[in-house]
Amino acid sequence: KNIVILISGRGSNMEAIVRAQQAEAWPARIAAVISNKPDAKGLAFAASHGIPTAVVPNKEFPTREAFDAALQETIDRFNPDLVVLAGFMRILTAPFVEHYAGRMLNIHPSLLPLFPGLHTHRQALDAGVAEHGATVHFVTAELDHGPAVIQARIPVLPGDTEDSLAERLLAEEHVIYPKAVRLFIEDRLSIENGEVRIAVTP
Ligand code: GRF
């Protein structure tokens, strides 16, 4: 199976997935890591692990549609079974999302449906919630609304800041995202009629 991972920056979730794939010898390969930013830090990690990288710079495209078309063409060169958004900071058009329906995952740093969009740690602190978290979900046309696959939860502690929450949560993201990708690769995770199905271990 071929996995294509899209990043925009640091790429620590991508790194966690690559490390799990190698350590656990998944029946899959990371076929490519693709960024919309030429200077995304994660590109160097991917290249140093022998993973093909590509950049599709969104700035060079006049419209979202043109960018998404070029991105899709680049992704599809690697024949992906699964597309993994890992800190990929672009809103995607409906035709693009439709093209990868049922085979594109994202991780969002909140307990969806709470706090879609940006600045989720700030949103959580402002709302005064006792618990925060992250959600791996299938990508659907509505931003940060696709059906949840796995969630990680952390308590909000007295004195927590956006940074402290982000840091504690990131460690949990690095656990749940590889888990979800592995389930998909093992054909144990799918979406049917908008509902997530996870098969238990045989
Ligand atoms: C993560 O917190 C992820 O949930 C969010 O953006 C951040 C990306 O971090 N979508 P990284 O690039 O994977 O290190």
Q: What pairing do the DSSP bridges indicate for beta strands 53-55 and 195-198?
A: unpaired
Work out the mean pLDDT of the chain and round it to a whole number: 96
Domains of the chain: 2-198 (3.40.50.170)
CA distances from 154 to 120, 172, 176 (A): 14, 8, 13
Say how many Å lie between the CA of residue 202 and the centre of ligand 1. 32
Q: What is the pLDDT of residues 82-122, one digit of tens each?
A: 999 999 999 999 999 999 999 999 999 999 999 999 999 99
Q: What is the pLDDT of residues 139-149, one digit of tens each?
A: 998 888 889 99
Residue 202 has pLDDT above 80, yes or no: no
174 is a catalytic site residue: no
pLDDT band at residue 77 using 50, 70 and 90 as cut-offs = very high
Q: Average pLDDT for residues 2-17, to the nearest whole number?
A: 98
Q: From CA 153, how far away is CA 142, in angstroms rounded? A: 23
Closest-CA residue, ligand 1 atom 3, reads: 87
ipTM: 0.96
Residue 185 has pLDDT above 80, yes or no: yes
Burial of 77 (0-12, 13-18, 19+ CB in 10 A): middle
Residue 201 has pLDDT above 80, yes or no: no
CA 193 to chain centre: 22
Position 194 scores a pLDDT of 87
Pocket of ligand 1 (CB under 6 A): 7, 9-13, 86-87, 107-109, 134, 170, 173
Closest-CA residue, ligand 1 atom 12, reads: 11
Cis peptide bond N-terminal to 38, omega within 30:
no
- Residue 167: count of CB within 10 angstroms of its CB: 11
Give me 177's structure tokens: 């995202």
Name the more confident of 145 and 46: 46
Say how many Å lie between the CA of residue 181 and the centre of ligand 1. 15
Q: What is the pLDDT of residues 158-184, one digit of tens each?
A: 999 999 999 999 999 999 999 999 999
Q: Which of 108, 121, 132, 137 is catalytic?
A: 108
